[in-house]
Structure 1
Amino acid sequence: MPPDSCILCTHSDVRHFYEDNSEHYAGNYYQCQRCRLIFATPEDRPSRDKEFARYETHENDPDDEGYRAFLGQLFQPMNELLEPESRGLDFGSGPGPTLHLMFEGEGHEMRIYDSFYDRDPSVFEETYDFITATEVVEHLFHPGKELDRLWSCLRPGGYLGIMTKIAEDDKDFFGDWHYRLDYTHVTFFTEKTFRWLADYWDATLNFPADRVIIFQKPYLENN
């Protein structure tokens, strides 16, 4: 059934974008005509048990230098922006939390949250100088709700760093794109989507690397 509205911006103009009945994935994807988000229909999202089974195959080891280098794509540009002893939250820290250790190694204070492995909602009752979400947003069923919650936890002038593959607004590209063939990937952000978010939040937006997006929350007017 077609969705009534966009799961990010709630706009009502959502149109069919792509259908896949291949052996890899069976389902329909829709695209919002305002924010340009592409997303799978609710009936094609994996169950929580199936999602967890997929995450259990991930080999995220804090001692793996290759994994640390992968996370470094976000860690390095974010760390360069931070004041000493900043306070951060790693959202979606996964089965082998690592990014928070990298920031702690630079003298920052960290908390972590993961809906499967570290489900502690008290983290959302606090505020942070920066929040990271590496390889997370493509899994979100309700990105509007989740991202607004993270944004509300940021202090004025704080940073939200996201790492995800950016979708192209093109059906031929999307059909052959390896990133969507992971069945836990159900929400895809185009560059236009991130620019819409920046306008919505009145945020500064930067793309410091191929799959890295950093928003800065505006300071209060009297600062």
Structure 2
Amino acid sequence: MMPTCPLCASRDTLHYHRDARRDYHRCRRCGLVFVPAAQRLDPAAERAVYDRHENSPDDPGYRRFLSRLAEPLRARLAPGDRGLDFGAGPGPTLSVMFEEAGHPMAIYDPFYAPDASVLEQLYDFITATEVVEHLFEPGRELARLAAMLPPGGWLGLMTKRVTDREAFAGWHYILDPTHVCFFSESSFAWLAGQLGMDLEFPAADVVLLQKR
């Protein structure tokens, strides 16, 4: 039996690619490419990979990288809009950048900032940079984030996108063992329709969704 898509829950999936370590399946309904559950890392092994990250607000290169999302999103916000950085990682930086621009921020990360009370509030915008490719249940998680936004609120995502099977086979992005879900433009189009959100691709790897 083919595995169920973790984004749209369809069983209409096909085998897409195999490398030395894992299999990758593609959903015919939403276009998501994903690793089957049995081939994901356990939490301890996943945390060990993240612990090696050395991202910091003091790194100008990392700030430039994050600005690809921060700048187009900031241009769409009102002064003082309040945000949540979801999946902030061991060195929260995007939240610092938005606070410097006058936006109060909360952070959440299941390993490094696991205070779940921040997930029970409403925000004017939510960011998740280099996060969605790590989610085991992206459909459920992204629906939860959308529910934390008022009408007109923004969800800003940053992740590299699947283009075609040939490029996927040689893609460095699949070499990270914590990357288990790979979105295409069609995946985000399905998601936007499902969540009642308008969709923009303002820059490479950047996705903005606004709640209607």
TM above 0.5, one fold?
yes
Partner residue of 1:155 out of 150, 162, 171 = 150
Counterparts of 2:18 and 2:62 in 1: how far apart (Å)? Answer: 33
Counterparts of 1:64 and 1:17 in 2: how far apart (Å)? Answer: 37
2:33 is the counterpart of 1:38: yes
Once the two structures are superposed, residues 91-142 of structure 1 have per-residue CA deviations (whole angstroms, 9 ceiling, x without a partner) of 0000000111111111111100001100011111100000000000000011
Aligned AA (1:15): L
Deviation >3 Å, runs of 4+: none
Counterparts of 1:153 and 1:203 in 2: how far apart (Å)? Answer: 13
Counterparts of 1:144 and 1:197 in 2: how far apart (Å)? Answer: 8
- Whether the aligned pair in 1 keeps the contact of 2:83 and 2:126 (CA below 8 Å) is yes
What corresponds to 1:212 in structure 2? Answer: 206
Counterparts of 2:125 and 2:100 in 1: how far apart (Å)? Answer: 16
Q: CA deviation at 1:49?
A: 0.9
2:101 is the counterpart of 1:106: yes
Flag structure 1 segments of 5+ consecutive residues without an equivalent: 219-223
- Whether the aligned pair in 2 keeps the contact of 1:2 and 1:41 (CA below 8 Å) is no
What corresponds to 2:45 in structure 1? Answer: 50
Counterparts of 1:78 and 1:41 in 2: how far apart (Å)? Answer: 33
Partner residue of 2:63 out of 68, 78, 85 = 68
Once the two structures are superposed, residues 136-186 of structure 1 have per-residue CA deviations (whole angstroms, 9 ceiling, x without a partner) of 000001101110110100111000000000111x22111100001111111
Aligned AA (1:129): D
What corresponds to 1:19 in structure 2? Answer: 18
TM-score when normalising by structure 2: 0.98
2:181 is the counterpart of 1:197: no
TM-score when normalising by structure 1: 0.93
Aligned AA (1:16): H
Flag structure 2 segments of 5+ consecutive residues without an equivalent: none
What corresponds to 2:166 in structure 1? Answer: 172
Once the two structures are superposed, residues 34-57 of structure 1 have per-residue CA deviations (whole angstroms, 9 ceiling, x without a partner) of 000000011111111111111111
Secondary structure in 2 aligned to 1:154?
coil
What corresponds to 2:9 in structure 1? Answer: 10
Q: CA deviation at 1:193?
A: 0.3
Counterparts of 1:148 and 1:94 in 2: how far apart (Å)? Answer: 21
Aligned AA (2:43): R
Which has the larger strand fraction? Answer: 1
Counterparts of 2:26 and 2:140 in 1: how far apart (Å)? Answer: 18
Aligned AA (1:19): R
Aligned-CA RMSD value:
0.9
Counterparts of 1:113 and 1:139 in 2: how far apart (Å)? Answer: 15
- Whether the aligned pair in 1 keeps the contact of 2:2 and 2:11 (CA below 8 Å) is no
